[in-house]
A and B are shown apart, each in its own frame.
Chain A
Amino acid sequence: MKMLFKGSEAIAEAAIRAGCRLYFGYPITPQSELTEYMSRRLPEVGGTFLQAESEVATVNMMYGASCTGKRVMTSTSSPGFSLMMEGISYMAGGELPAVFVNVVRGGPGLGDIQPAQSDYFQATKGGGHGDYRMIVLAPHTIQEAVDLMNLAFDLADKYRMLVTILADGMLGQMMEPVEFPPMRDPNDVPEKDWALTGAKGRPPRKVTSFHIDPYELEKMNLRYQATYKKVEENEVRYEELNTDGADIIVAAYGTMARIVKTVIHMAEKEGIKVGLFRPITLWPFPYKRLNELADTVDTILTVEMSYGQMLEDVRLGVNGKAKTPFYGRSAGVVPTPTEVLDAVKKAIGR
């Protein structure tokens, strides 16, 4: 049965359905509803909600809880995500699975509380220190956010990696009808042969991102890199709409992609065929498919609620084979379909 959910609430419920029973977090607009939902709902299903004293405390609670092999998550918005970066790097080094949700708002600094996509670099290119990667999933509807939560936890466990759901404030706050998958048994997850569970009757285990010997640390790093390579080979996800025979392809993710879907219809009335290329995994980015598409059109326009962040990955994918103009507004201003249509027309000289 479909129900009416706010994006933040829906992500919370979907995480619970995916077997998450441990949530640590600190409220911040525009995703406090997620934290609040967890505080009400987790006790109902025998889970633990813990409001930390800060995002720094949150991420270290995540580290500790994840070591036990349980499914753990937190959610935050941009400034809070920045505060978590040190712990995220430590967790990546410890090869700990966990799910982070960043409902992005205007930045930099304190910014504002309106929607933005300006944490793309931070999510996909590090943010914390060291050679690490996070899988980054970008839903564009609330239903998709729900559907991606199961995947997020599964990928985290499968690769022992961090997964970030990168949403913007609009997705966090808007309401849509959603259908949830059935509840998964939190104990019905694959055995974790590395988890710290008490060492009774077996040798002790260790979770760490540290080694004082550079050759040993290099070995650890090469192991991380091998994992990332596997993820790049197997976990790229994207959606294509109307790209076949398009006059122009627009690359966009999240809320921006929704707006482009409206623009496709507006452009059609003016005789312009607009295709949409929507990365669902921002890391690993779908470079290969984009490179193929660049053979089919003259122009791939990137539109963002930021000032040209995903654009850099689009250009890496296109690799000079097509023109790659850009249109974006940020800082909490959401481009209107008309503005995007104007950018489309300008890009193809109409």
Chain B
Amino acid sequence: MNFKEFNARVFVYVGMFGSGKTELAINTAVELKKEEKNVALLDIDVISPYFRSRDKKDPLEEMGIKVISPPGALSHADLPIITAQVGGYISNESFFTIADVGGNEDGATVLGSLKPFLDRVNKKVFFVVNTLRPFSTTFDEIVRNVKKISAVSRTKIDYLINNTNIAQETTEENVKNGEELIKKVSEYLEIPVAFTVVNEEMDFQGEFPILKLKRYLAEQW
């Protein structure tokens, strides 16, 4: 996937809880870093206590990606901390910046608070959908989720992403069913589908461009 095609400097990932935003944000950062000097990943997830971008801060920073998260021991705190640097990396024109936003409307509220920064930059907002997650399995549920998150994050959604999966056990049929459902949502809401996400080893051709996902967060066991 060539992320340059989206003609954005700031990539924002929103969606429901557990839809796959963090893995996508990390993949985007790693991909952009291949060509760009300055890439920053903003962990502004105030919802998840485990499996966050900040948990992979060391390996990502070794790749030269700047990871912005609460400092030191505070990164493990059960507190909704957004550091002041976040606004700076959104505004800094010399950086490609990826924002990993927390799930559900509670997570997206953070984005609403960053509106003064986000409105002034070239950004694209991606709404991630996994149709095999609870509360995201039907047309009505997904439409309602997109509208709700768009409202509290005070931003329009530029793209939908089909991230339909059940981790390593995902079948092509799963992905295809996800495409069909998300296509209907896309047509109804008039929001284009940016791409479909598949596991690295899967050879799938569907209606939309393909992103082969490398998983960074799962434990080695």
Contacts and interface: CB of A to CB of B under 8 A. Distances in A.
Interface of A: 1-6, 9, 13, 29-30, 33, 37, 40-41, 112-115, 169-170, 173-177, 258-259, 261-262, 334, 336-337
Given A2-B166, A4-B18, A29 B134 contact: no
Contacts of B137: 3
B167 interface: yes
Interface of B: 17-18, 48-51, 76, 78, 130, 132-135, 137, 165-167, 169, 219-221
Q: Which 5 A-B pairs have the closest CB atoms?
A: A177-B166, A262-B221, A173-B50, A4-B166, A177-B169
Contacts of A5: 133-134
A179 to B, nearest CB: 10
B51 A176 contact: no
Contacts of B49: 29-30, 113, 169, 173
Contacts of A6: 17-18
B76 A114 contact: yes
Contacts of B135: 40
A8 B132 CA distance: 16
Nearest to A266: B221
Contacts, number: 64
A9 B18 CA distance: 11
Contacts of A174: 50-51, 219
Which among A5, A115, A177 has the highest number of chain B CB atoms within 10 Å? A177
Contacts of A334: 219
A234 B169 CA distance: 36
B166 A337 contact: no
Nearest to B163: A4
18 contacts: A2-B132, A2-B166, A3-B166, A4-B130, A4-B165, A4-B167, A5-B134, A9-B18, A29-B78, A33-B17, A112-B76, A114-B76, A173-B50, A258-B221, A259-B221, A262-B220, A334-B219, A337-B221
Contact of B132 (A3, A114, A336): A3
Contacts of A262: 220-221
A1 B51 CA distance: 25
A115 B76 CA distance: 12
Contact of B78 (A113, A115, A173, A336): A113
Contacts of B78: 29, 113
Nearest to B135: A40
A35 B46 CA distance: 17
A169 B50 contact: yes
Contacts of B51: 173-174
Given A169-B50, A176-B167, A177-B167, A3 B134 contact: yes
